[in-house]
Amino acid sequence: MATGKNLKTLYLATVISVFVSMSSTGQDVNDLKLKDYRPKSIYNIPVTNVTKAKYPAIDMHTHVYGRTDEDIVRWIKAMDACGIEKSIVFTGATGTRFDDLVKLYSKYGDRFELWCGFDYTGYEQPGYGPAAAKELERCFKAGALGVGEIMFKGKGISPASKMKTIMLPDDPRMDILWNKCAELGLPVNLHISEDKWMYEKMDSTNDGLMNASKWEVKMENGAKTHEEMLERLENTVRKHPKTIFIAAHLANCCADLSVLANYFDKYPNLYADISARFGEIAPVPKYVHDFIEKYQDRIVYGTDMTFNERIYRVTFRILESADEHFYETDLFGYHWPLYGLALTDKTLKKVYRDNAIKLLTK
């Protein structure tokens, strides 16, 4: 039977044990959830604050963030503060919706350029294509200067969906649309697949788990693998050499940029935007630096993360600085540290603006 002295000793030992296991917020570290992990760099190393892009930049990947004049004015204010010359707005729209957006954005001169979508009405019916091509040409005449973001993620169809098939980019039904884009000189922003982390097991071995779990691609209901979707991209680009394709998000090849490098080497009509993949490429700065420097004529700047000054400036820091071991967990969703790519001035100028001008004036 424990004595009073023993009980007191046991009590003190328990209190000390609990105290040691508690974080400064009072949380037991053994119960800390990965989603709540927010490390802060302890290294006393240089920090580069890049408030404005080194060269005037064209954001080649945005969406309809402004739906009122007030929204658009705030957007322009953020662009001006950070050196963004123009934003390419992917509406994904056709018909009257596209026309309404043209009316809204045309008030702001050349600060915005609107791209339309494709009309998929009746795509499961025989004879799909000519009417969609006709609508594409109408949108072009109404002000569309490109097409995008066209999504082919390869995800399966929900059992509750009324759709019967998944449209893929190399589907013969798409040929008339890709050909019409070439005829009209409309570049196409094409989103293929998702990054490799989204296909891996959602367990302790997935180093991108915090973000990957939100975008998981499950192999069910006809879903296509990451590799098959990349093959579909290659089929499409090879089949339509006169159509200019811009692979969104570095073709979602961030875990293996050699795939995209191979496509660049073979297909001069393929480009890629860097949007929304800063968090995926900044952990491997030397490799990515060398990749972008080598393919500096084929890559364009983009954000795809709504608009505000902080977003722009974080992307500038990653592209321009040589900063080490910093975090942007809340912005990108990953727990891993980031590093600046320290791109050369020649490459920065091309990625920020020159390559976009080349594509927009073809």
Q: What is the pTM of this model?
A: 0.91
What's phi and psi for 298, nearest 5 deg? Answer: -120, 5
User: Can you name the CATH fold of 41-360?
Assistant: TIM Barrel (3.20.20)
Identify whether the C-beta of residue 316 lies closer than 8 Å to the C-beta of residue 324.
no
Identify whether the C-beta of residue 234 lies closer than 8 Å to the C-beta of residue 257.
no
What count of residues does the chain have? 362
Q: 10 Å Cβ neighbour count for 178?
A: 23
Give strand pairing partners of 58: 86
What's phi and psi for 225, nearest 5 deg? Answer: -75, 165
Query: What torsion do the CA atoms of 151, 330, 226, 166 make, to the nearest 10 degrees?
Result: -30
Cα torsion angle, 42, 48, 50, 56, sign: negative
Q: Which pLDDT does position 237 carry in this prediction?
A: 98
- Report the b/e string of 159-177 with b at 16+ CB within 10 A: eeeeeeebbbbbbeebebb
Identify whether the C-beta of residue 271 lies closer than 8 Å to the C-beta of residue 246.
yes
Q: Which pLDDT does position 362 carry in this prediction?
A: 63
Amino acid (one-letter) located at 111: R
Largest CA distance in the chain: 92
Give Cβ neighbours of residue 112 (< 8 Å, ≥ 6 apart). Answer: 72, 86, 87, 88, 89, 105
Look up tokens 């700047």; give the residue. Answer: 301
Per-residue pLDDT tens digits of the chain, which is 362 residues long = 444 445 444 444 443 343 344 445 556 888 888 888 899 999 999 999 999 999 999 999 999 999 999 999 999 999 999 999 999 999 999 999 999 999 999 999 999 999 999 999 999 899 999 999 999 999 999 999 999 999 999 887 766 666 666 789 999 999 999 999 999 999 999 999 999 999 999 999 999 999 999 999 999 888 999 999 999 999 999 999 999 999 999 999 999 999 999 999 999 999 999 999 999 999 999 999 999 999 999 999 999 999 999 999 999 999 999 999 999 999 999 999 999 999 999 999 999 999 999 999 86
CA distances from 67 to 85, 92, 93, 160 (A): 20, 14, 14, 31
Helix H or strand E segment including 115? strand 112-115
Which letter does DSSP use for residue 173 in this model?
G
Q: Which pLDDT does position 35 carry in this prediction?
A: 83
Q: Which pLDDT does position 252 carry in this prediction?
A: 97
- On the 0-12 / 13-18 / 19+ scale of CB atoms within 10 A, 37 is exposed
Q: Which pLDDT does position 27 carry in this prediction?
A: 63
What's phi and psi for 233, nearest 5 deg? Answer: -60, -50
Q: 10 Å Cβ neighbour count for 153?
A: 17
End-to-end Cα distance, the chain: 89
